[in-house]
Amino acid sequence: MIIPFNKPYMTGKELWYIAQAHANGHLAGDGQFTKQCSAWLEARTGASKALLTHSCTAALEMAAILADLQPGDEVIMPSYTFVSTANAFVLRGAVPVFVDICADTLNIDETLIEAAITEKTKAIVPVHYAGVGCEMDAIMEIARRHGLLVIEDAAQGVMASYKGRALGSIGHLGCLSFHETKNIISGEGGALLINDPELAERAEIVREKGTNRSLFFRGQVDKYTWVDIGSSYLPSELVAAFLWAQMEEADAITQRRLGLWNSYHRWFAASETAGMCQRPTIPSHCVHNAHMYYLLLADLTARTEFIARLKAREIHPVFHYIPLHSATAGQRYGRAHGELTNTEQLSECLARLPLWLGLEEFQPEVERMISGVLAEIG
């Protein structure tokens, strides 16, 4: 049995809902399924508006447009993240300013943000790594004092919360992903959560190619026309139909993922005590969604050995990210603020373990093999 890193989970109703969309004859965006998914997101997160997008990348790009960035404006974010977090802002001519992460949660170190602020800073982009909330109270307070926008990259944060509030619903804007490697999926997919109602009308316009088409359909204007910059950020109704099947099962999916996560966590407690690895840390005020289970190994050599030995046993862990400030485009378009010691060190130590629904029956064996490899590499 080969244990892949990821295996997209299907609830069984996806094709049925796609057939319904097909029968309805509405295939472009913003049909019945899109409305149901948006309403679900608004109810679940408390966001004043949720707009489905074709990816979290698209939601981040919309957020960057809504932030009204001018060339040279600065946006503070971690370097330890996926490229889209930075790209969205670079596309607007802004400069990502990378700050270090905390050694326990691998989230942006909120105590380093204020010193990175200049007169060009316009926004802070916390990334909720592994579906574990950043220190949002502190981040929102800094943003308030300096008049900055907060855009949450909650790509990994669907169904997770910070002090009882859904990730993505705390900043002015929040960006979610339904990519097939995330918890709730539609192949490619995402959403923009608009928590500052003042941004809602423009968000609809940006998503509809810079037109006021949405207002026209609601009868709020009598013709629709080009009023702003924008692009086509909405998903097809077929994608929304697929996503609806997943949303219906979101609680059950999250519970099963948590079961897998907790099993790993209990199992590797002994390896951690023996000094062979470090397990993830979940602050007590955060409810996570079991998006990811990772182990931190001693160093790059140990991580490389760990992955190679498990692959030889047909278990496929993966690593990420190459820190953005050290990547070719990161050096060209962004800058690091201060030393990024934790980012540089921990990105070399982290290995993500397989975590997908259906792994349950193999998990005891997978756990035994992994702890065996941990013991071998010391």
Q: Which residues bind ligand PLP (CB under 6 A)?
A: 55-57, 81-82, 84-85, 127, 153, 155-156, 177, 179, 190
The token duo for 163 is 């002090």
**Quick one: which of 314, 344, 319, 270 has its CA closest to 100?**
344
Please give the backbone phi and psi of residue 294, each rounded to the nearest 5 degrees, phi first: -130, 160
In 3-80, the DSSP E strands lie at 49-53, 74-78
**Toward ligand PLP, which CB reaches closer, 82 or 89?**
82
For residue 3, which amino acid is it?
A: I
Closest separation between CB of residue 125 and ligand PLP, Å? Answer: 10
Minimum CB distance to ligand PLP smaller for 29 or for 370: 29
Residues 6+ apart with CB under 8 A from 142: 110, 113, 114, 117, 124, 148
Structure tokens belonging to residue 293 = 């289970």
Q: Residue 212 CB, nearest distance to ligand PLP (Å)?
A: 26
Quote the CA–CA distance of 265 and 224 in Å, as a whole number: 54
| Residue 80 or 374 with smaller CB distance to ligand PLP | 80
Q: Is the dihedral of CA 247, 248, 252, 255 positive or negative?
A: positive
**Smallest separation, CB 289 to ligand PLP (Å):** 12
Nearer to ligand PLP, 139 or 373 (CB): 139
Q: How far is the CB of 132 from ligand PLP (least distance, A)?
A: 12
Look-up of token digits 């790509």 = 155
Q: Which is nearer to ligand PLP, 156 or 169 (CB)?
A: 156
Cβ atoms < 10 Å from Cβ of 311 = 12
